């Protein structure tokens, strides 16, 4: 059986094991989110015999340095893995605000020890001790003086439990900044732009929306937020304020009870429309399917999914 080596530890795993699962099952904290090779949260450096299912997901330079996405690798032979150490490799940050936007969404604002260059829609891995979770940035670079995250704390979990106890001044560690499908391109300025989110998938799209407005986007912008019920529309007021001051922006607040009817009425007027989707996999799939049936080309749809941790 192949052996995994992490620091001074080594253990045997069945051939063909998923590298991410093999590491986490042995207590090596490798964060993950999408498990599809898009969020890059599970990046590890490794040497040895692994089969990479998505070799094009990383740059040639990253691969040359030994980096791999653990979720996309199968263990074939012995492998030496260097896991991310938040104390050694992470960036220190301090909590500057932790407040509740509704009963379940925690808005967390952090001040890193040094400036961080990022794009709206990207995400970071947050470390609370040895517990890590990737979260999308809701802040706007060059405008917000903090890093902002919207955390869904409805369900118990190691990180969400720790987040509930955070107070101003508490330290956290930041992992590497990750890419992701969501962004704004100034070349889109004249095209219709749709931003569809469920739950806290609205967080990164809040940043993308403000980036589009900062670039004086000329096309129509349509924001749709799906929540379980009306109380889940945690950014309803700031979205309404933006819509009141930008005639090309419309905001629609959907609830689960009316989802099927709302989707049935969804029409794509222009084939130049670009759609950015984010949230729970089921919601993103429902949005995607309806947009495709309505005539939106697949290459004009960008999506990030928030996969619940089991």
pLDDT digits (tens, 9 = 90+) for 84-129: 778 888 899 999 999 999 999 999 999 999 989 999 999 888 988 8
Task: Give the span between the Cα atoms of 20 and 36, in whole angstroms.
Answer: 12
As given in the structure block, the two tokens for residue 59 are 């740059």
Quick one: which H or E segment has residue 210? Answer: helix 202-214
pLDDT band at 82 (very low <50, low <70, confident <90, very high): very high
CATH 2.40.30.10 residue ranges for the chain? 86-178
Q: What is the pLDDT of residue 308?
A: 67
Task: Give the span between the Cα atoms of 51 and 74, in whole angstroms.
Answer: 5
Of the CATH numbers 3.10.20.30, 3.40.50.300, 3.90.380.10, 3.30.70.860, which one belongs to the domain with range 3-82?
3.10.20.30
Task: Give the span between the Cα atoms of 147 and 43, in whole angstroms.
Answer: 22
Q: What mean pLDDT is predicted for residues 252-280?
A: 96
At 141-151, the pLDDT tens digits run 999 999 999 99
Of the CATH numbers 3.90.1150.10, 1.10.4160.10, 2.115.10.20, 2.40.30.10, which one belongs to the domain with range 86-178?
2.40.30.10
84 C-beta neighbours (distance < 10 Å), count? 22
List of residues 6+ apart from 143 with CB closer than 8 A: 210, 214
Question: Which backbone phi and psi does 191 adopt, to 5 degrees?
Answer: -95, 150
Q: What is the pLDDT of residue 177?
A: 80
CATH 3.10.20.30 residue ranges for the chain? 3-82
Residue with tokens 């794509």: 268
Q: What is the pLDDT of residue 309?
A: 59
Task: Give the span between the Cα atoms of 87 and 90, in whole angstroms.
Answer: 6
pLDDT band at 265 (very low <50, low <70, confident <90, very high): very high
Q: What mean pLDDT is predicted for residues 56-79?
A: 91
Write out the CATH class of domain 186-305.
alpha beta
pTM: 0.87
List of residues 6+ apart from 34 with CB closer than 8 A: 41, 71, 304, 305, 307
**Torsion angle of C-alpha atoms 240, 241, 247, 253, degrees rounded to 10:** -10
β-pairing, 131-136 with 91-100? unpaired
Identify which has the larger pLDDT, 280 or 38. 280
Please say whether the beta carbons of 252 and 243 come within 8 A: no
At 150-206, the pLDDT tens digits run 999 998 888 899 999 999 999 999 987 877 789 999 999 999 999 999 999 999 999
Task: Give the span between the Cα atoms of 301 and 310, in whole angstroms.
Answer: 28
Q: How far apart are the first and last CA of the chain?
A: 27
């Amino acid at each position: 059986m192949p052996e995994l080596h992490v620091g001074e530890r080594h253990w045997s795993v069945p051939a063909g094991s998923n590298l991410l699962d093999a590491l986490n099952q042995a207590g090596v904290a490798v964060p993950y989110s999408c498990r599809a090779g898009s969020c890059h949260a599970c990046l590890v450096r490794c040497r040895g015999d692994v089969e990479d299912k998505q070799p094009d997901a990383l740059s040639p330079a990253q691969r040359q340095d030994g980096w791999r996405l653990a979720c996309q690798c199968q263990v074939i032979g012995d492998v030496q893995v260097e896991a991310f150490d938040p104390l050694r490799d992470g960036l220190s940050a301090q909590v500057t605000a932790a407040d509740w936007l509704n009963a379940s969404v925690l808005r967390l604002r952090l001040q890193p020890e040094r400036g961080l260059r990022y794009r709206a829609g990207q995400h970071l891995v947050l470390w609370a001790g040895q517990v890590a979770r990737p979260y999308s940035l809701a802040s706007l670079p060059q405008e917000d003086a903090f890093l902002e995250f919207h955390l869904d704390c409805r369900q118990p979990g190691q990180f969400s439990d720790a987040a509930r106890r955070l107070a101003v001044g508490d330290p956290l560690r930041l992992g590497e900044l990750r890419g992701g499908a969501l962004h704004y391109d100034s070349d889109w300025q004249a095209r219709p732009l749709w931003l569809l989110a469920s739950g806290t998938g609205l967080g990164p799209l809040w940043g993308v929306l403000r980036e589009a407005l900062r670039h004086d986007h000329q096309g129509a912008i349509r924001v749709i937020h799906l929540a379980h019920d009306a109380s889940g529309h945690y950014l309803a007021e700031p979205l309404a304020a933006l819509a009141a001051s930008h005639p090309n922006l419309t905001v629609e607040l959907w609830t689960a009870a009316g989802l099927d009817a709302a989707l049935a009425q969804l029409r794509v007027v222009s084939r130049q429309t670009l759609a950015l989707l984010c949230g729970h996999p089921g919601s993103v799939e429902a949005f995607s399917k309806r947009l495709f049936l309505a005539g939106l080309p697949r290459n004009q749809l960008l999506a990030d999914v928030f996969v619940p941790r089991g």
